[in-house]
Amino acid sequence: MTRQLLAILLTAGTAVPAAAQQEFPATLTAWAALPAATFTAPPEDAPAHHARSGRFTGEGRTEELGAIRIEETGVTLPMEGQPVQGFSGIRSLGEDRFLVLTDNGFGTKANSADVLLMFHEVEVDWENAKVGQPETTFLSDPLRRVPFPIVNEATETRYLTGADFDLESIQPIGDGYWIGDEFGPWLIEVDGSGVVQQVVPTEVGGQTYLSPDNPAAATPNSGEPMPEELMAMRSGGYEGMALGPDGTTLYPLLEKPVWDAAAGAPMQIGGTPVLSLFEFDTTGGGFAEEVCYYPLDDAGHAIGDFNMIDETRALVIERDGGQGTADFSDNPAEFKRIYLVDLDRTDEAGVLEKIAYIDLMDIRDPDGIGRGTTDGVFTFPFVTIEDVDRVDATTIVVANDNNYPFSVGREAGRADDNEFILLDVADFLSAE
């Protein structure tokens, strides 16, 4: 479908048919956690500045260790080392090993300049409910492929930080990896040692997509209209990114609707808020011109992760912004779902059909495996659930981004751990 035809449909207010969404049960078969306070040392050749982190999480800059206290969790910053927390992407590697991606740091570009960007391989001991110490790879740019000044610009190693990129999704391809970023939004190719090979801007169908955090975005003065190219919303860049069955085609998915300048509002099709889903050929073909769309159940929702399970079908996490329960949270978790979609099943406007879903707030746990299970029901009440992948024909893995040290979803006053769960969802995976 062309962008011109889409514009006509938007103007005409074409309705998007609401297909029936069937709910399927999910049963907890295993649970494990990596403690919230898990740290790693920076590389030996990194600037000494990175021996500690969290200096910018208060007002201005704070060098004194522990001088900043997070009221919700009691955690104090700055802290020694680099926090491993905040897994924002996952791929199952088999044999209980997983590739996971650490988020940008402490949540924003402004407060994460002393946090190094990294991804890991972890092994989960399901029997003992533990996650092993991560095998960490740090990102760096010694080849100077990043098209803007970075925090460690003047160093030889040029390690990347959470003020440079916000990493949200990762896919292994060949001997390296492709990573989806929110600040650009960019696609970043790195080799097996984390060295950046290229940074690809989002240019689709003659349109350049920029977020307010992109250094190339010209933020308007007060009262001036938004530039036409400023399309992606802040914290709305690439959140999920699936890898096609050919092993070379990526499907990066924005977290939030793009800004529709003509309407002066986030993009909708037929009254439904939608997220843009692109296609990218890593062998040199670049972005395809066509765009399809993931429909949100509510304008206040966002997606958390997106991975293929076969040739055309995929899993998408959709969630609200709540966490915890009404017992201790002013904004309790209510909507945490994983949807099944098929990239070959869209309507005439290119909007994906939601085939089925499971409810992460209503997981069966008859054996009491999970932390916090009540009356045989286990919940996953985290504000950001950003990890899902297929493990085998009947099982998926799900994990949370714990936003250390801020999120409190499991227990009042306690920073969330990085929880990993296995779910038996055989009927859901075979839904038609």
End-to-end CA distance of the chain: 24
365 class by beta-carbon count within 10 Å (0-12 exposed, 13-18 middle, 19+ buried): buried
Query: What is the pLDDT at residue 336?
Result: 98
Query: What is the pLDDT at residue 15?
Result: 39
Distance CA 239, CA 167 (A): 8
Residue pair 130/419 in contact (Cβ under 8 Å)? The answer is no
Backbone angles phi, psi at 428, to 5 degrees: -65, -45
Whole-angstrom CA distances from 365 to 26, 62, 376 are 9, 45, 5
Whole-angstrom CA distances from 313 to 19, 171, 248, 432 are 17, 17, 16, 10
Mean pLDDT of the chain: 93
44 class by beta-carbon count within 10 Å (0-12 exposed, 13-18 middle, 19+ buried): exposed
Rounded mean pLDDT, 257-263: 85
pLDDT tens digits, 13-24: 443 444 568 999
Distance CA 38, CA 231 (A): 36
CATH placement of domain 3-429: 2.120.10
Rounded mean pLDDT, 408-417: 97
Distance CA 325, CA 339 (A): 23
Query: What is the pLDDT at residue 248?
Result: 97
pLDDT tens digits, 137-172: 999 999 999 999 999 999 999 999 999 999 999 999
| Position with higher pLDDT, 264 vs 188 | 188
pLDDT tens digits, 163-183: 999 999 999 999 999 999 999
Rounded mean pLDDT, 300-315: 97
Report DSSP state, residue 110: T
Distance CA 42, CA 57 (A): 19
Rounded mean pLDDT, 295-324: 97
Query: What is the pLDDT at residue 6?
Result: 44
Query: What is the pLDDT at residue 235?
Result: 78
Beta bridge partners of 420: 32, 399
Backbone angles phi, psi at 31, to 5 degrees: -145, 140
Query: What is the pLDDT at residue 228?
Result: 67
Query: What is the pLDDT at residue 378?
Result: 98
| Sequential DSSP letters for 46-98 | S-GGGGEE-TTSSSS---STT-EE-TTT--EESEESEE---EEEEEEEETTEE
The pTM of this model reads 0.93
Band the pLDDT of 265: cuts 50, 70, 90. Answer: confident
* pLDDT more than 70, % of the chain: 94
Rounded mean pLDDT, 373-401: 97
Residue pair 388/401 in contact (Cβ under 8 Å)? The answer is no
Cβ atoms within 10 Å of 248's Cβ, excluding its own:
16
Rounded mean pLDDT, 240-255: 97
> 135 CB contacts (<8 Å, ≥6 apart)?
120, 121, 122
Residue pair 352/345 in contact (Cβ under 8 Å)? The answer is yes
Instruction: Name the residue with tokens 């985290």.
Output: 382
Domain boundaries, the chain: 3-429
3-state secondary structure of 168: strand
Rounded mean pLDDT, 297-304: 96
Cβ atoms within 10 Å of 176's Cβ, excluding its own:
17
Residue 337 has pLDDT above 60, yes or no: yes
Query: What is the pLDDT at residue 229?
Result: 67
Distance CA 360, CA 338 (A): 7
